[in-house]
Structure 1
Amino acid sequence: MKKLCLFAAAVASAAAFAPGLPSAQRVPSKAALTNLHMGKNIYEKKDIVKQVSEDLASSQFIFSTEMKQITVPQIRELRWSLPEDSKASCIKNRLLKRAAAGTEWEVVKDAAKGSDNLWVFVGSDIKGTIKAFKAWAKKEKKAGAKAGVLEGRIYDEKGVDAIGDLPSKDELYAQIAGCVKAVPTQMATAVKEVPTKTARAIKLAFAPDA
């Protein structure tokens, strides 16, 4: 009888540690699961900060607007309306500050306050981007720009609008080209008129007195 009991105990013990069978030691604890999720979030945040850093590095100007009551379809429509090298992203303030730390954009920490914002990263077409944003805000009945950052300075909504009214790069090139083109024409006209004026002066100098 004792032998049978010992044999049964041995079988039960072996079954408890057999591969593929459930074991209390193999079930992750609640703390372990929490740590796994926390680790995943940390990696995701690092990826976000890296992406924002790249967006800042390729931007000439950035500005924000309130995220309140903006839907995903509305954000998608804004993104579609922006010029090719501009983009809109919903970023938590602390992640934006982390990405901007130690760069020329670090001053954005004074603008990234309050609720989280929708930030627009502007490439080469500042005027076109602000124009597209204002048209979107008017159509969707949303607030205008909350704050903008350009060359280490923070601008309010009026400042962002004023920046949007400045000539674009292409417009400046056209104006400069027009000025350069006009100079030779004006010089040629002036040179052409010199002999005529000289001839008149000589004629008057040697004309007999009336």
Structure 2
Amino acid sequence: MDRIEKREFVAELSAVFADTSMVVVTQNKGLTVEDVTKLRRKMREAGVSFKVAKNRLALLALEGTRFDGIAPLLKGPTALAWSADPVAAAKVAVDFAKTNDKFVLLGGALGNQVLDVEGVKALSELPSLDSLRAKILGLIQAPATKVAGVLQAPAGQLARVFSAYADSQKGEAA
């Protein structure tokens, strides 16, 4: 990388740190190309970005951001995972670490809060933002469905009374 590329990379990573809510720091010493490809595919499917970054450049990008607390974690071969959904990055990283012992979680940060490995694991157990939205939507729609059913019931009963009355009138006329 020449100087211009390094500056662009630091600027790009700084913009990421300004926009995202969650960053997970991992160590990927000894992963095969096939393993890294699988990991990147899983990350992409979950809406997570994953980048192997030179620690020196990542440290420059961290300066002055709310994630500067993860600077001590950037030692050795590290990679960063981030996403708009705070749970997605943690969930994919923890799931992949369970199946591959060469992929090690080092920690992360949720906003200003620096997380250790246990904190990242705890965060990964939470439901994702999409599933929370679906649950809230279900809770909102359930009462509306019940109200509609209650409002329709008297009308149905009234229709049955009129139908019975009409049938009784036909019976008397015959």
TM-score by length of 1: 0.59
Please say if 1:160 is aligned against 2:145: no
- TM-superposed deviation, 1:184: 5.1
Secondary structure of the 1:146 match is strand
Report the equivalent of 1:97. Answer: 59
Query: Which digits, 9 at most, give the CA deviation of each residue in 1:16-75, with x for residues without a partner?
Result: xxxxxxxxxxxxxxxxxxxxxxxx632232122122123323422111111322234422
- TM-superposed deviation, 1:180: 2.5
Please say if 1:78 is aligned against 2:50: no
**Whole-angstrom CA distance in 1 between matches of 2:64 and 2:97:** 32
Structure 1 residues 61-70 or 133-142, which shifts more? Answer: 133-142
Report the equivalent of 1:171. Answer: 131
Please say if 1:150 is aligned against 2:110: yes
Secondary structure of the 2:65 match is coil
Percentage of matched positions with identical amino acids: 27
Secondary structure of the 2:2 match is helix
Q: Where in structure 2 are the equivalents of 1:19-168 lying within 5 Å?
A: 41-84=2-45, 85-112=47-74, 114-124=75-85, 126-127=87-88, 129-168=89-128
**Whole-angstrom CA distance in 2 between matches of 1:72 and 1:57:** 30
Unaligned runs of 5+ in 2: 151-174
Kindly tell me: are residues 82 and 143 of structure 1, through their superposed partners in 2, closer, same or farther at Cα, counting changes over 3 Å?
closer
State the structure with more CA Rg: 1
Secondary structure of the 1:69 match is coil
Kindly tell me: are residues 168 and 111 of structure 1, through their superposed partners in 2, closer, same or farther at Cα, counting changes over 3 Å?
same
Say if 2:21 and 2:110, in contact at 8 Å, map to a contact too: yes
Structure 2 counterpart of 1:65, one-letter code: T
Say if 1:67 and 1:115, in contact at 8 Å, map to a contact too: no
- TM-superposed deviation, 1:170: 1.8
TM-score by length of 2: 0.70
Structure 2 counterpart of 1:100, one-letter code: L
Count residues with an aligned counterpart. Answer: 150
What's the Cα RMSD here? 2.8
Structure 2 counterpart of 1:64, one-letter code: V
Unaligned runs of 5+ in 1: 1-39, 191-210
**Whole-angstrom CA distance in 2 between matches of 1:133 and 1:106:** 20
Query: Which digits, 9 at most, give the CA deviation of each residue in 1:139-177, with x for residues without a partner?
Result: 333244211110111111111011111121122222222
Structure 1 counterpart of 2:111, one-letter code: E
Structure possessing the higher relative contact order (Cα contacts under 8 Å, 6 or more residues apart): 2
**Whole-angstrom CA distance in 2 between matches of 1:57 and 1:72:** 30
Query: Which digits, 9 at most, give the CA deviation of each residue in 1:89-124, with x for residues without a partner?
Result: 111222112112122222222432x32311112233
* Displacement over 6 Å in runs of 4+: 185-190
